[in-house]
Amino acid sequence: MFIALEGGDGAGKSTQLPLLQEWFEKQGKTVTICREPGSTPLGEKVRDLLLFQRGLEICRMSELLLFMTARAQVVRQVIRPALERDEVVLADRFLLSSIVYQGYGGELEVEEIRKIGQIATGGTLPELNIILDLPLTYAKMRRKGEPDRLESEADAFHDRVRNGFLTEARLFPEKNVVVSAEDSVERIHAEICRAIQERL
Ligand code: TYD
């Protein structure tokens, strides 16, 4: 089973991911967690390039292809081997983030991103995207530390990102479920588990 946790910055994915892992482990499943970009030596290098190299000029298309590079690697090095061992794979972001951040946010052509994503992943895609949804004002309050390159984008960008997640969920309801992140940690966790039980 392959599930991705998605949503805007500050929506609480990093709090929910270990809770979800524990929930699956209590059911006797082995869980592999990966984050994007990252989770492989190449992915971590790409992550550093993409998020923390201040002053390095990266155009939107290069940005997209770098995210896709990290994704191509994690699919082959981590995700497929885990799925072959019959494990549950939980991804902290996956292709939907590229569609929404570089497409809706960065205004690259969404249909082109889908095609590139299909090629990069070779069709290894999550059965379900869980989208944690939070209004922008809350999300900003929750963010911690120095903002990375994408977090530093203008509010209008993050507005388009939020709307992008909601639009994609409406377009592809069988692949996406939206969970309101304006709730307690326990209630959000319960809602995520319910969605998984219902869908998968
Ligand atoms: P990360 O530190 O993982 O942020 P978060 O905890 O919010 O997930 O940084 C990932 C950043 O990269 C985040 O701002 C979203 C962005 N991103 C894209 O723009 N496109 C992508 O394809 C992915 C995977 C992430």
- The pTM score is 0.95
Per-residue pLDDT tens for 14-58? 999 999 999 999 999 999 999 999 999 999 999 999 999 989 999
Instruction: Name which residue sits closest to atom 11 of ligand 1, judged by CA.
Output: 150
Pocket test for ligand 1, best of 150, 153, 168 (most atoms within 8 A of CB): 150
What is the CA(36)–ligand 1 centre distance, in A? 7
Cα of 148 to ligand 1 centre, how many Å?
9
Cα angle 67, 8, 119; round to 5:
30
**What is the rounded distance in angstroms from the CA atom of residue 18 to the CA atom of residue 39?**
16
Q: What was the pLDDT predicted at 143?
A: 74
- pLDDT tens-digit map of 87-106: 999 999 999 999 999 999 99
Pocket of ligand 1 (CB under 6 A): 9, 13-14, 35-37, 51, 67, 92-93, 97-98, 101-102, 148, 150-151
Q: What percent of the chain has pLDDT over 90?
A: 85
